[in-house]
Chains A and B, each alone.
Chain A
Amino acid sequence: MTDFILILVSTIFVNNFVLTKFLGICPFLGVSKKVETAVGMTYSVVFVMTLASAIAWLAEELILAPLGLEYLRTICFILIIAALVQFTEMVIHKTSPILYSALGIYLPLITTNCCVLGVAILNVQKEHSFLQASIYGAGAGIGFGLVLILFAGMRERIDLSDVPALLKGSPISLISAGLLSLAFMGFSGIVK
Chain B
Amino acid sequence: MIEAVLSMGGLALAAGLGLGFAAKKFHIEGDPKVDGLAALLPATNCGNCGFPGCRPYAEAMAKGETTNIGLCSPGGVETMEKIAAMLGIEPVEMEADTGPKVAFVREEECIGCTACIKACPVDAIIGANKQSHTVIADMCTACKACIKPCPVDCIEMVAVPVTVYSWMWSKPENSASLH
* Residue positions of A touching B, CB distance < 8 A: 59, 63-64, 67-69, 72, 75-76, 79-80, 82-83, 86-87, 90-91, 93-94
Contact = CB atoms under 8 A, between A and B. Distances in A.
A175 to B, nearest CB: 30
B168 interface: no
Interface stretch (B22-30, B83-91, B139-147): B22-30
B28 A67 contact: no
Nearest to A84: B15
A104 to B, nearest CB: 11
B166 interface: no
A67 B15 contact: no
A69 B7 contact: yes
Interface string B18-42: 1100110010100000000000000
A52 to B, nearest CB: 12
B26 A90 contact: yes
B22 A69 contact: no
A63 B7 contact: yes
B165 to A, nearest CB: 37
A94 B26 contact: yes
Interface in B141-159: none
Contact of A94 (B4, B7, B15, B28): B28
B138 interface: no
Contacts of B115: none
Contacts of B11: 59, 63, 76, 79-80
Given A69-B4, A90-B22, 18 more contacts: A59-B11, A64-B7, A67-B3, A69-B3, A69-B7, A69-B8, A76-B11, A83-B18, A83-B19, A86-B19, A87-B18, A87-B19, A87-B22, A90-B23, A91-B22, A93-B26, A93-B28, A94-B26
Contacts of B26: 90-91, 93-94
A76 B18 CA distance: 16
Contacts, number: 42
B92 interface: no
B90 to A, nearest CB: 33
Contacts of B12: 79
Contacts of B4: 67, 69, 72
Nearest to B15: A83
A63 B7 CA distance: 7
Contacts of B15: 79-80, 82-83
A127 B18 CA distance: 29
Contacts of A76: 8, 11
Contacts of B23: 90
A90 B26 CA distance: 6
B46 to A, nearest CB: 18
A59 B4 CA distance: 13
A128 B91 CA distance: 65
A76 B3 CA distance: 13
